[in-house]
Structures are given as structure tokens and as C-alpha cells.
Amino acid sequence: MTGPDMTPNRIPWPPIIFGAAALAGVLLHWYMPLPWLPDGPLRLGTAAIGLCGLCAGIALEIVTFLTFRRHRTTILPHRGASALITDGPFAKSRNPIYTGNTLLILSAGLLFGIVWLLPAGLVAAAMVQKLAIEREERHLAARFGATWEAYAARTPRWLGRSSGR
């Protein structure tokens, strides 16, 4: 990994990690189901939260894809960035697609009562941070220098308050 043209990611691609986590959560649910909320208002409430989360995750993914397109840079995690995007969803999160992927898995768990999707989504997010995000950040730092450093200092990696990097 040398120079600003280094490849930010290789296998395992983040979509593979999130897909495998979702599949693992569903398979664990089939073979070792965990108790979930009984039917009633509380269960209806978690399903409603899950549905809202799914809609928000899908909307975040679509807006992020359109932002990549508008900036004419690649969305593929194994190709180098040609532009540093700092507007749109990237103003609130340095990783809105991965945030959206995590939200989709967690929300599906709430909506469908698949408890295993909750830890699976969190494990996938941790794996993506270690295996992809940290490497992507090194790529962006090498490629965009001080501009990246300023962006990373003011924008959180996921959501919430920024902690620099």
C-alpha cells in the first residue's frame, strides 16, 4: 500500500460482510431462535421502529448513491476515490453507506423479530470498520492530505459527535 493511488479495499468487500452477517442472523434464528416480544403494543412498537429504520436506511443508501454519482467518483470499495465528498450525507457521516447497511440489518431485526440480526449487525459494523473503513481512511489521507484531515476532524466516522479519527 504505497502512494495516493493505492487500492482502498480488497476482499472482503463491505457488502459481503454485511450480507454474510444478515445471512448468519437469519440462519441462527432458524436453528436457535431467541425469544422476542409477545404480540401486543410493545411488539407493534418495535415493528414500527424497524419499518421506519428500514425506510431511513434505504433512503440514506439512495441519497448516498446519488451523491457519489453527482461527484462522479466511484462507489466501489476496491477502486480509488477521484473526489473527496463532504456534502450531502457525508456532512453527517464519513461512511453513510456503511451506516445505512448497519441500520438496515438492525431495523430488519426489529421489524421481523429476528433477535440474532441485532448482534449480527453490530458485529458486521465492527468488522467493516476494521477491515475496510480504516484502510479507506488511509487511502483518503494519502490522496487528499490536509483536506481529508480537516474533514475527518469535523465529521464523525459513523454518526454522532466527531472524535477526529
Domain of 113, CATH number, reads 1.20.120.1630
Closest CA to 98 of 151, 149, 57: 57
Taking the C-alpha atoms of residue 113 and residue 130, their distance in angstroms, rounded to an integer, is 28
Residue 2 lies in a domain: no
What's the pLDDT at 162? 58
Angle, CA of 78, 81 and 82, to the nearest 5°: 140
Q: Which domain holds residue 110?
A: 42-74+84-165
Query: Which residue ranges of the chain lie beneath pLDDT 50?
Result: 1-5, 165
To the nearest whole number, what is the mean pLDDT of the chain?
89
Residue 30 lies in a domain: no
- Is pTM beyond 0.85? Reply is yes
What's the pLDDT at 5? 46
Residue 139 lies in a domain: yes
Residue 155 lies in a domain: yes
Domains held by the chain: number: 1
